[in-house]
Amino acid sequence: MPGAEAPDAVFAALSDSTRRRLLATLAQRGAATATELARELPMSRQAVSKHLGVLAEAGLVKSEPAGRAVRYRPTPAPMSEAVEWMTAVGRQWDARLAALGRSLER
């Protein structure tokens, strides 16, 4: 399928439950630092920073300097692209299953 490579980084980033939790927390809050996020998780700030780096590489979060800290905000565009890809694949499967159903009815 053309363009299938586009959501790869998003799916890879979201394959980890910690990163999904971080992204959900950021979506709820709007923005947070790694230190703020680490307070809620049983891991170090450095580990949280590493996960945030993966989310940033996938384009799911944007980092902004805030004094000596860095604030992270969710960015929805890459997620929308992944959803569009899944929708397109779903339509293909729906068409194939409908054709199979018609074939079985004959």
Instruction: Pick 65 or 6 by higher pLDDT.
Output: 65
- Please write the tens of the pLDDT for every residue from 14-69: 999 999 999 999 999 999 999 999 998 899 999 999 999 999 999 999 999 989 99
Pairing of strands 32-33, 61-66: unpaired
Query: What pLDDT score does 69 carry?
Result: 92
Query: What pLDDT score does 2 carry?
Result: 43
Query: What pLDDT score does 1 carry?
Result: 42
Backbone angles phi, psi at 44, to 5 degrees: -75, 165
How far does Cα 90 stand from its chain's mean position? Answer: 19
Annotate 46-80 with b (16+ C-beta within 10 A) or e (fewer): eebbebbebbbebbbbebeeeeeeebbebbeebbe
Domains and CATH numbers, the chain: 8-105 (1.10.10.10)
Q: How confident is the model at residue 4 (pLDDT cuts 50, 70, 90)?
A: very low
- Who contacts 67 (Cβ-Cβ below 8 Å, separation ≥6)? none
Query: What pLDDT score does 6 carry?
Result: 58
Q: Which amino acid is at 84?
A: E
Query: What pLDDT score does 81 carry?
Result: 83
pLDDT higher than threshold 50 for residue 3 = no
